[in-house]
C-alpha cells in the first residue's frame, strides 16, 4: 500500500496517537514506508539554520528539543550544529529506528508523549523544533499540543514550527495533512496570549521548489518579555 494512504488509514482509527507506533512497527526500519521520512534533515530546517536567526540560535548553543523525531535526521543535524539535543517520539519503534541509524549519536533519544511529557522538561530548552507533528494530529489535539510546545521553552527560547501548507480554498489531500494559514494562526494567537508568553517572530508562507504548487509554512515563536516583543517589527510576517 502507498505509505501516505496507509498513514491516513491508521490516523482514522480511534486512538489519535497510538497509530504512529503501528506505522513505524510495520515499516520495520524501511524509510520508504514512512511518508515523512526523507533519509536526510528537513530542507526547511536546513535553510532556516542558514538565516541570520538560525545562525544566532546555533552560535548561542544551548539545549534543543526535537518533537516527534521519527528516524532522527533533524535531531542529528542540530547536534552537529553544536546544540545539546534531546529528541523524543511517542512511538517506541521510531526511537529504536533512530538509535539504530545513528549508533554513535550525541542525541539523547527518548520515548515520550507530547501531551504528558516529563516534568523536568518544563522551561528547559533554548530551541524547540516541531516538524509535521501538529498537522498529523486531529484538530482537537492541535489545540492542546501547541501550549505543550510552548512550555518546553526556557526564557528567551525559540519554537520553530514546520508544516505542509495549502490555500484556504484547496481541498485537503496527502498526508501529513496540509494546513491552511488560517487554521494555524488562531492556535498561534491563543498560544501567544497565555503563559509562558510567546511572541510571533516570523510567519513564512513558502512555495516549494520540488513540485509545482507545493506549499510550506515555517513559523517561529519566541518566549520573552513584553519588552522583547516590542523590539520585534510591527508585522514580522
Domains in the chain: ranges and CATH: 40-231 (3.40.50.150)
Report the pLDDT value the prediction gives residue 212, as an integer from 0 to 100.
52
Residue 213 and residue 229: Cα distance in Å, rounded? 33
Residue 229 and residue 4: Cα distance in Å, rounded? 39
Q: Each residue of 43-76: pLDDT tens digit? A: 999 999 999 999 999 998 899 999 999 999 999 9
C-alpha grid cell, residue 62: 544551548
At residue 208, does pLDDT exceed 90? no
Q: Each residue of 85-135: pLDDT tens digit? A: 999 999 999 999 999 999 999 999 999 999 899 999 999 999 999 998 887
Q: Give a three-class secondary structure readout of 43-96.
A: HHHHHHHCCHHHHHHHHHCCEEEEECCCCCHHHHHHHHCCCEEEEEECCHHHHH
Q: Indicate yes or no: pTM above 0.95.
A: no
Q: How confident is the model at residue 172 (pLDDT cuts 50, 70, 90)?
A: low
Task: Yes or no: say if 194 and 127 are a contact pair by the CB < 8 Å rule.
Answer: no
Beta bridge partners of residue 127, listed in sequence order:
64, 158
Where does residue 48 rank: exposed (0-12), middle (13-18), buried (19+ CB within 10 A)? buried
Amino acid at each position: 500500500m502507498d505509505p501516505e494512504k496507509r498513514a491516513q488509514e491508521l490516523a482514522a482509527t480511534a486512538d489519535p496517537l497510538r497509530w504512529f507506533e503501528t506505522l513505524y512497527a510495520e515499516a520495520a526500519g524501511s524509510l520508504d514506508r514512512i511518508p515523512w521520512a526523507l533519509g536526510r534533515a528537513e530542507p526547511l530546517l536546513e535553510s532556516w539554520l542558514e538565516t541570520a536567526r538560525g545562525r544566532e540560535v546555533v552560535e548561542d548553543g544551548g539545549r534543543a528539543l526535537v518533537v516527534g523525531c521519527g528516524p532522527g535526521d533533524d535531531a542529528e543535524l542540530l547536534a552537529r550544529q553544536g546544540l545539546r539535543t534531546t529528541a523524543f517520539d511517542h512511538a517506541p519503534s521510531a526511537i529504536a529506528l533512530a538509535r539504530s541509524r545513528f549508533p554513535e549519536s550525541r542525541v539523547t533519544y527518548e520515548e515520550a508523549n507530547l501531551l504528558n511529557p516529563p516534568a523536568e522538561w518544563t522551561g528547559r530548552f533554548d530551541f524547540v523544533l516541531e516538524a509535521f507533528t501538529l498537522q498529523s494530529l486531529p484538530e482537537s489535539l492541535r489545540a492542546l499540543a501547541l501550549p505543550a510546545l510552548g512550555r518546553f521553552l526556557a526564557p528567551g527560547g525559540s519554537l520553530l514550527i514546520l508544516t505542509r501548507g495549502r490555500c484556504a480554498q484547496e481541498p485537503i489531500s496527502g498526508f501529513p495533512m496540509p494546513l491552511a494559514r488560517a487554521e494555524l494562526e488562531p492556535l498561534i494567537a491563543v498560544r501567544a496570549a497565555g503563559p509562558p508568553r510567546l511572541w510571533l517572530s516570523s510567519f513564512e508562507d513558502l512555495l516549494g521548489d520540488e513540485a509545482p504548487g507545493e506549499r510550506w509554512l515555517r513559523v517561529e515563536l519566541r518566549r520573552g518579555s513584553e519588552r522583547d516583543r516590542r523590539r520585534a517589527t510591527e508585522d514580522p510576517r
